[in-house]
């Protein structure tokens, strides 16, 4: 399994860079007073770093690390918090930055616990979305690309912890 390599490029580095810059402009426009970004480790780290480098003005960052308890190949929706935030969210204009929304269970869990901490605004940006896989109707205000039901790697996303370093998004055939 772990020796599988991406067989096909789904999104090139140039396509991703262009779209991420566009998303950054849109998000910046919607947060005129600055924003507090919460990035979900590990998958979002490259998306986050390109996103914030396309933003000017006030941007602060915090990180969360979660792990989904898998049931077979899909997440169960039960999420284990591996690293919590360093600061409070009370009254802040918050943006969650995630790599991909698949069933939506992980993101629903995260939105629920973060909303309970009293941010003034809470929105979500995901680089990728697989709408055909959704089990719960989770709200994602900013989506980079909607893709088919394929397992993808690169640009932060992994397969057995490999391929996060690829500058493009590739497909792993099942
Ligand atoms: P969800 O709870 O099913 O929405 O799962 C979301 C999480 O599963 C993401 O944050 C990823 O870590 C992981 N995931 C889902 N699809 C893929 C994929 O195609 N490649 C890599 N990771 C994925
Ligand atoms: Mg993730």
Per-residue pLDDT tens for 150-159? 999 999 999 9
Residue 73: pLDDT over 70: no
DSSP class of residue 132?
A: G
Which helix (H) or strand (E) segment holds residue 10: the answer is: strand 8-11
Share of the chain above pLDDT 70, in %: 93
The predicted pLDDT at position 79 comes to: 83
Tell which wins on pLDDT, 143 or 75. 143
Residue-level pLDDT at 171: 97
C-alpha pair distances (Å), 141 with each of 20, 26, 129: 14, 11, 11
Using the predicted structure, report yes or no on whether residue 55 has a pLDDT greater than 90. Answer: yes
Q: What is the mean pLDDT of residues 121-128?
A: 98
- Report yes or no: 168 and 13 within 8 Å, Cβ to Cβ: yes
132 C-alpha vs ligand 1 centroid, how far in Å? 13
Q: What is the pLDDT of residue 3?
A: 66
pLDDT tens track for 82-96 = 999 999 999 999 999
CB-ligand 1 contact for 68 (6 Å cutoff) = yes
Tell me, using a 6 A CB cutoff, whether residue 124 lines ligand 1.
no
**What percent of the chain lies above the pLDDT cut of 90?**
86
Instruction: Select which of 50, 93, 99, 102 is catalytic.
Output: 102
- Mutation test of ligand 1: which of 72, 99, 104 has the most ligand atoms closer than 8 Å to its C-beta? 99
Between 121 and 4, the more confident residue is 121
Sheet with 59-71: strands ordered across: 74-83, 59-71, 35-41, 93-101, 121-129, 142-146
Helix and strand element counts for the chain (H, E): 3, 9
174 versus 122: which is more confidently predicted? 122
User: How much distance in Å is there from the Cα of 149 to the middle of ligand 1?
Assistant: 11
Confidence of residue 74 (pLDDT cuts 50, 70, 90): low
Strand partners, 145: 128
Ligand 1 touching residue 99 (CB < 6 A)? yes
| pTM confidence score | 0.94
Q: What is the pLDDT of residue 4?
A: 82
111, two tokens = 């939105």
Measure the CA–CA gap between 70 and 79, rounded to whole angstroms: 9
Is 86 labeled as catalytic in the residue annotation?
no
Instruction: Say what the pLDDT of residue 107 is.
Output: 95
Mean pLDDT confidence for 150-173:
96
Any atom of ligand 1 within 6 Å of the Cβ of 152? yes
């Amino acid at each position: 399994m772990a020796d599988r390599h991406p067989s096909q490029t789904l999104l090139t580095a140039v396509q991703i860079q262009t779209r991420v810059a566009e998303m950054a402009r849109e998000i910046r426009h919607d947060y005129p007073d600055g924003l507090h970004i919460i990035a979900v480790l590990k998958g979002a780290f490259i998306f986050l770093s390109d996103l914030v480098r396309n933003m000017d003005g006030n941007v602060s960052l915090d990180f969360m690390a979660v792990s989904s308890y898998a049931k077979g190949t899909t997440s169960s929706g039960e999420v284990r918090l591996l690293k919590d935030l360093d600061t409070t969210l009370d009254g802040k204009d918050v943006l969650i930055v995630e790599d991909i929304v698949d069933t939506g269970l992980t993101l629903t869990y995260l939105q629920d616990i973060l909303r309970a901490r009293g941010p003034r605004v809470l929105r979500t940006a995901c680089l990728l979305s697989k709408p055909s896989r959704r089990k719960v109707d989770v709200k994602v205000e900013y989506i980079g690309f909607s893709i088919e039901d394929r397992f993808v790697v690169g640009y932060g996303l992994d397969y057995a912890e490999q391929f996060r370093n690829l500058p493009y998004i590739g497909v792993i055939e099942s």
